[in-house]
Amino acid sequence: MHRLLLLGCLWFLAAPPVSSIFQRPTGTPAPLRLQYLLEPLHPTVHTQRGATATLPCVLRALPPNYRVKWSKVEPANYRENIIIITNGLYHKNYGPLSPRVRLRHSHRYDASLTITDVALEDEGRYRCQLVNGLEDESISLTLHLEGVVFPYQPSNGRYKFNYHEAKRACEQQDSRLATYQQLYKAWTEGLDWCNAGWILDGTVHYPIINSREPCGGRLLLPGVRTYGARDKQKDRFDAFCFTSALQGQVYFIRGHLNFKEAGQACRNHGAAIAKVGQLYSAWKFSQLDRCDGGWLADGSVRYPIAIPRERCGGLPDPGVRSFGFPSKEMRTYGTYCFVG
């Protein structure tokens, strides 16, 4: 026993100070400080769908024989896709963003990336890299779209989508699978949903504000609950979709219409029957507020409430209410139309 105590004391006396335990090992290089690129004042750029956005990348000096490379990190597969490479006055664009990107070039030190007609899939993390032999350096920026997240399930019930079907379903409703950051933000703004759904990176989650028995129990704290990564082919859940501002207008046509008549009523006005994402967007960005249920393109019937009131569903919070998927032959509802 005395020998163990003695050994412990000797170890303590020989041990380095606590602060030095966490110091960088000898020979490990320190992170490279930016020599040519300026650190952006605001690493997140906020925008909306359809807008023009610029991601700043400015040089403090021009090294000899350098290139600037812009790329985007895709959350679905964590790959970095090249967008544009510049070499002096010449540049080349790559990938699906190619027709909508250019370098701002407001002065000779400016390598900022401008994206026109911003699309839903443009949201994410971008990297501006200065390629200069052994002295490469880069900065990261995030393009953030203002928008709204909504849960989505098909007419045949909950937990019917594998990952690829969920992705396709969101795209058919003028939206895309939400990122975790978008879902988390929606939860902080009040999204409370008990059904688990796919998000863009292939993981499955559900956001809970009010803990309750059917949703994991009353003892679990509120939060974005997670099932983690699931099998994209075999596992089946709902979807969490994300949409942003519209380049168009959603409006209501009153009537007692079945689904087929609803579509024709919109076409008679030079419009199309609205998609679910378009109705959510009009509710979020245009404060569309109607107490009337109306057909949508997927065969569901919904109505948007911006100002909650007793005779419009009775719920205390704003939102898009749903009557589900009634029989398409029912002549009971009006229709929501979209014109671009």
Q: Which residues contact 62 (CB under 8 A, 6 or more apart)?
A: 36, 108, 109
Interatomic CA distance for residues 13 and 15, integer angstroms? 6
Interatomic CA distance for residues 256 and 307, integer angstroms? 25
Q: Which residues contact 101 (CB under 8 A, 6 or more apart)?
A: 70, 83, 84, 93, 113, 114, 115, 116
Q: CB-side exposure of 336: number of CA atoms within 13 Å?
A: 30
Q: What are phi and psi of 60, to 5 degrees?
A: -90, -20
**pLDDT of 215:** 87
**pLDDT of 133:** 75
Q: Quick one: which H or E segment has residue 276?
A: helix 276-286
Interatomic CA distance for residues 302 and 334, integer angstroms? 10
Interatomic CA distance for residues 82 and 94, integer angstroms? 6
Q: Quick one: which H or E segment has residue 291?
A: none
Question: How do residues 188-198 score in pLDDT, each as one tens digit?
Answer: 999 999 999 99
Beta strands (DSSP E) in 17-136 are: 44-47, 53-55, 67-74, 79-87, 90-93, 101-103, 113-115, 124-131
Interatomic CA distance for residues 317 and 192, integer angstroms? 11
| Of 204, 154, 217, 147, nearest in space to 176 by CA | 147
Interatomic CA distance for residues 10 and 186, integer angstroms? 55
- For the chain, domains (ranges, CATH) are 37-145 (2.60.40.10), 147-243 (3.10.100.10), 245-339 (3.10.100.10)
Interatomic CA distance for residues 130 and 105, integer angstroms? 15
Q: Quick one: which H or E segment has residue 140?
A: strand 137-145
**pLDDT of 274:** 98
**pLDDT of 18:** 28
For every residue of 46-80, DSSP letters joined together read EE-TTS-EEE--BBSS--TT-EEEEEEEETTTTEE
* Residue 136: exposure state from Cβ atoms within 10 A (0-12, 13-18, ≥19): middle
Question: How do residues 46-58 score in pLDDT, each as one tens digit?
Answer: 999 999 999 999 9
Q: Which token pair is 30?
A: 């320190």
Output the CA angle 25-127-91, nearest 5 degrees: 130
| Of 119, 147, 146, 149, nearest in space to 241 by CA | 149
User: What pTM was computed for the model?
Assistant: 0.84
Low-confidence ranges of the chain (pLDDT < 70): 1-32, 75-78, 88-89, 134-135
Between strands 44-47 and 53-55, the pairing is unpaired
